[in-house]
Amino acid sequence: MDRRVSIGVKQKPTLDSRIRNAITVDVEDYFQVSAFEPYISRADWDKFPLRVHKNTERILELFEMVGVRGTFFMLGWIAERVPALARRIVDAGHELASHGYAHVRVYQQRPDEFRQDVVRTKQLLEDLGGCEVRGYRAASFSIRKDTLWAVDILQETGYQYSSSVYPVHHDLYGIPQAPRFPFRHNGTGLLEIPITTVRAMNQNLPVGGGGYFRIYPYGFFRRALRRVNRDEGQPVIFYFHPWEIDPDQPRPPNVGLKSRFRHYVNLHKTEHRLRQLLADFRWGRVDETCLS
C-alpha cells in the first residue's frame, strides 16, 4: 500500500535528492485530447464548459504546498479564453511554455501552417504571461521521423527547446530510435528533451506520465524513475494534464471503447499518486533542470 502524504507540509524527497527532475503540465481541457478528436470537432469546443482553470488552480495549490516549481505547456486556445491563467502560472514561479494553439498534431499541418501556429502561440503567451517563452511541446508528442522539419521551424522562430519526442512505439506518436535523454537535433540544432523511458526487454518502456502513470502500479512507476535517477544518473521528464485530476469531468457520449479506456482509466487515483510522486522525488522546471 502506498504511503500517504501530508500535503500541508513541504516534503523532502524520500528516494534520491541528488537529481532534480522536471515535472510538466500540458494545459488543455478534457474535450481537447487527441483520443476524442474523432468524436468532438474543434468547431464545437466553445460549447463545452471549461474546467481547465479550476483544475490548474488545484495543481498550482498542490505545487505550492510541497514547494515545487514546474513547467506548464499551455494551449493558446486556453490562454485566450482564460487569459489570467498564464499570468497566474508565471507569478507562482513556474515556467510558461507553448503547447501550440489548438492541439493540432504536427503531421496534420503543412510547414507554413505549423510556423503560423507556433509563432502565434508564442507571442500570445508572452503577451499574457509577461515572460519569454522558450519551450514547446507538440500535441500528442507528434514530432516524428516524418515531421522533423518542424524542428528547424521551432529554432527559426525563437524557441530554445522542444519536449516533443517520445522514444517509444505508439499508434499516434513516437521515434523509438531517438536518444532517451536530452540531445540536439543534427548534433548542433534545437535541444530536444524527450519524455522519460526505461529499457526493458530490448525496448523502451514509457514511464514519463500521462495514461501510463494511471495504468501502471505506482510501485512499478517509482522503481522505474528511481532507476533512471540512480542507475543512469539522468533526470526524469514527467508530464500530466489538469483533466487527469478531475474524475468528475463530463463524459461526452458515443466515444469509442479504446478512447474511453485511454482517457478515463484510474482517473480517481491520479491525484493521490501525484502527491506521492511529488514526495518521493525532487522536482523542478524544465529550463532549470535541462537548460541551466
Domains of the chain: 18-291 (3.20.20.370)
Listed in sequence order, the residues at least 6 apart from 278 whose beta carbon sits closer than 8 Å to its beta carbon are 5, 11, 23, 62, 63, 66, 68
- In the prediction, which pLDDT does 18 show? 73
What percentage of the chain reaches a pLDDT higher than 90? Answer: 86
Q: Are 102 and 46 in contact (CB under 8 A)?
A: no
- Chain mean pLDDT for the chain: 92
Task: Report residue 136 as a C-alpha cell.
Answer: 514547446
Beta pairing partners, 284? 22
The model's confidence at residue 16, banded by pLDDT at 50, 70 and 90, is low
Asked if pLDDT for residue 6 goes beyond 80, the answer is: no
Longest pairwise C-alpha distance within the chain: 51
Q: Render pLDDT for 93-115 as a digit per residue (tens, 0 to 9).
A: 999 999 999 999 999 999 999 99
